[in-house]
Structure 1
Amino acid sequence: MTTKKENNYNNKDLEIIVQAYVNPSEEIEKVNFAIKNVFPDSTLILKDNKLYTSTEKLEVLKKVKDQIRSKSTLSVLKKILFSNQTMNTTWFLLNKQAAFSKVVALIEDEDESPLGPIKITIRNQNTEEIINWFEN
């Protein structure tokens, strides 16, 4: 169920982009499956060996939020989001192979995921509010 607080973010001021490169050694269907495990309602587009989707709905991040329950993982996510913040944009990375197994695994560097990460970019006038949304 969507809360009133989540609905406040569903507007033109918010854009969430989810993207992952499909390596020559990977099957498109498997990368699609991995992304859909974490972002189930997304409609993915393939362009230039990259699967991506874009939305104005914060609910797309709900599965990430639900799986990041421990204080230590939440602290890592917030640290990553704040350190990657520039103006009205921030981003974080997920391990693509873990996502294939329906596991949300944060990574701090693209090299931590041998097949490349899933990158989630968040654009909003108040990114700090979005970052704090993960705690509520």
Structure 2
Amino acid sequence: MANINSEITVITPVKMTEDKVKVIFAVKNLFPDAELLEKKNNLYITNTDFKVLKKIKDKVKARKSMAVLQRILYNNYNMNNTWFLLNKQAAFSDVVSIVENEDESPLGPIKVTIKGYDLEKINHWLEN
């Protein structure tokens, strides 16, 4: 599902106490086919295709956490934009752990922002 005015952004901080190689590994675990860029003390991915979220979708379905993800997307939805957070430490172990606020991920979460889609299209993609 691609939209000319859409964008999916993934961003996570690299704290001074973290090994950057391990943070890269964590992000690449969940977004294996995406190009990872570095800017200042953040790692980020920018993409226009939902394929970048396929592994997240598959793992959320496997853990039967889809209702949680959809609730968070709904709660954070504003003007065709929404977002959710993932635990960075869990990502290192190739586990998708959705967190509701930044405090639940002590080293800072991985933030996934979806811009330019209405919530119904996002939910349809997640469910299929």
Which of the five TM-score ranges fits, normalised by the shorter chain? over 0.9
Secondary structure of the residue aligned to 1:54 is: strand
Give aligned pairs, total. Answer: 128
Match status 1:77 vs 2:69? yes
Q: Which residue of 1 aligns with 2:26?
A: 34
Cα 1:116/1:71, change in 2 over 3 Å: closer
Offset, 1:122: 0.2
RMSD of aligned Cα (Å): 1.4
CA distance in 2, matches of 1:50, 1:22: 6
| TM-score normalized by the length of structure 1 | 0.88
CA distance in 2, matches of 1:55, 1:135: 21
Runs of 5+ in structure 2 lacking a partner?
A: none
CA distance in 2, matches of 1:96, 1:58: 20
Offset, 1:71: 8.1
Match status 1:48 vs 2:40? yes
Match status 1:14 vs 2:6? yes
Runs of 5+ in structure 1 lacking a partner?
A: 1-8
Match of 1:58 among 50, 53, 57: 50
Offset, 1:70: 5.5
Q: Provide Cα deviations, 1:29-63, integer angstroms capped at 9, x if missing partner.
A: 11111000000011111112000010011101100
